[in-house]
Amino acid sequence: MVSAETLTSPDSENAQNDFQSRCSDILKEAGATSQFGGITGHAIHSISVRVLKKFKHNVTENNRVPTINMNLTSDQPILPYAPDRSTPDSKHFHTDGMKILDEVLTHMDDSSYDVKNLSPLEKIAHAFHMEEMWVAALHAYRKLKQDPPSEEVCNCAMDIDNNGILKQLRFAALGIREPQLVYQDKLQRFKRQLSYHITYSKSFKKRSIPE
């Protein structure tokens, strides 16, 4: 880990800037867009062990996928891992749809859990929206495994401190926890922006997902 003293060094700052610039070029050459950090941060912000098991069946909470803490009263807004959000009733359900409903409705009366100020129906819509993204990501992942990226690309993709992923998670965590602070008296704007995220572009809608 880089020390605070090192961060104050001009040479260190220049080296870090060079690294970020180089990684930006590396990710771009690998096919990532200029919005890699923001898109990835949004995609993983509420992912859980249940979903990660689709990518790797033996995944546990001992993973390194940062997520936003659903417990809004916790003093740790961002978790360094994706948690297991299964409930005692999860084992009774066989489909992802029912498991999603169970995960959301278990906390439907808890105003200190999940996105602040959203109704249970809006939370369900958000949960299914994210599930749609993860299904698309899973098929992209399977395709990527056929021609894996280089270690250099992976290192840049994993550098969440500098590639924009952590920045996006921090902003999203603030908006989820304190929308009034972020949007002041314009909470309807927050709702509209959420609606924007839950709509899909034509290119996304036309994206073919194999059976």
Closest by CA position to 59, among listed 44, 48, 70, 46: 48
Beta-strand pair 78-79/67-68: antiparallel
Give residue 7's pLDDT: 44
Give residue 4's pLDDT: 38
Give residue 165's pLDDT: 97
Query: Which residues contact residue 138 at a Cβ distance below 8 angstroms, ignoring those fewer than 6 apart?
Result: 54, 55
Give residue 182's pLDDT: 74
Distance CA 157, CA 142 (A): 17
Give residue 171's pLDDT: 94
Answer yes or no: are the C-beta atoms of 78 and 167 closer than 8 Å.
no
Cα angle for residues 58, 79, 109 (degrees, 5° grid): 95
The structure's pTM equals 0.79
Q: Where are the domains of the chain?
A: 35-205
Give residue 11's pLDDT: 57
Give residue 146's pLDDT: 96
Per residue of the chain (211 residues), give pLDDT as tens.
334 344 445 555 665 666 678 999 999 999 999 999 999 999 999 999 999 999 999 999 999 999 999 999 999 999 999 999 999 999 999 999 999 999 999 999 999 999 998 999 999 999 999 999 999 999 999 999 999 999 999 999 999 999 999 999 999 999 999 888 877 666 555 555 555 444 444 544 445 455 4
Give residue 181's pLDDT: 81
Residues listed for the chain: 211
Specify the 3-state DSSP secondary structure of 37. helix
What separation, in Å, do the N-terminal and C-terminal C-alpha atoms of the chain show? Answer: 43
Phi and psi angles of residue 51, each rounded to the nearest 5 degrees, phi first: -75, -40
Give residue 6's pLDDT: 40
Query: Which residues contact residue 31 at a Cβ distance below 8 angstroms, ignoring those fewer than 6 apart?
Result: none
